[in-house]
Amino acid sequence: MNTYFETTIENIKMETLSNTSITVQAQVNAPVEQVWKSWNSPEDITQWCQASDDWHAPFAENDLRTGGKFRTTMAAKDGSFSFDFGGEYTNVEENKLIEYTMDDGRKVRIEFEDQGDSTQVVETFDPETTNSLEMQKAGWQAILDSFKKYTEAK
């Protein structure tokens, strides 16, 4: 394969990834006000923000307003790895919508649909280029499922 062809293929892959968004969703059996509080309160975030039982979120801060910033530390419980997940809010509509840009420039949109005694949460995000789309979707869905379980148990 020549270098021009390899570069062209890689550019097409990157362009395809950059034009692809991933959506995860959950029906949370709780009123939208409770769902909104659980999603945004740092005390609550540290209780649900993990994809599996061997991870946790030992720290969270959240300035929930357009222009405000947030940061959550996600860490393996055995201490082997941790990272900060953060960004800046670009649009906040209480009990309805959160949009933000992650520190790496990717965009996220979270919609909260009030359905009386339950709330539909739909989260759409730009993927990164390191992990497969399937892996990213599974990871974000696992975190959303953890949120659902935590919020419904409150």
User: Is residue 100's pLDDT more than 80?
Assistant: yes
The CATH superfamily label for domain 21-153 reads START domain (3.30.530.20)
Torsional sign, CA 131, 142, 67, 120:
positive
Given the DSSP bridges, would you call strands 82-93 and 97-102 parallel, antiparallel or unpaired? antiparallel
* Calpha distance 64→44 (Å, rounded): 14
pLDDT tens for 124-138 read 999 999 999 999 999
Mean pLDDT calculated for residue range 78-86: 96
Q: Any idea where the domains of the chain sit in the sequence?
A: 21-153
Answer whether residue 4 shows pLDDT above 50.
no
How many angstroms separate the Cα of 109 from the Cα of each of 6, 39, 66?
34, 13, 13
Average pLDDT over residues 88-101: 98
> Does the pLDDT at position 150 exceed 60?
yes
Sign of the torsion formed by the C-alpha atoms of 73, 78, 79 and 82: negative
What is the arithmetic mean of pLDDT over 31-54? 97
d(CA 55, CA 51): 7
In this prediction, residue 19 has a pLDDT band, given cuts at 50, 70 and 90, of low
Q: How confident is the model at residue 18, as a pLDDT?
A: 53
**Measured distance CA(57)–CA(29) in Å, rounded:** 23
Q: What is the pLDDT of residue 45?
A: 98
Tell me what the pLDDT averaged over the chain comes to: 91
Query: Does residue 13 surpass a pLDDT of 50?
Result: no
The answer, yes or no, to whether residue 147 has pLDDT greater than 80, is: yes
Average pLDDT over residues 119-125: 98
Half-sphere exposure of 19 (CA within 13 A, CB side): 6
With a cut of 70, say whether residue 64 has pLDDT above it.
yes
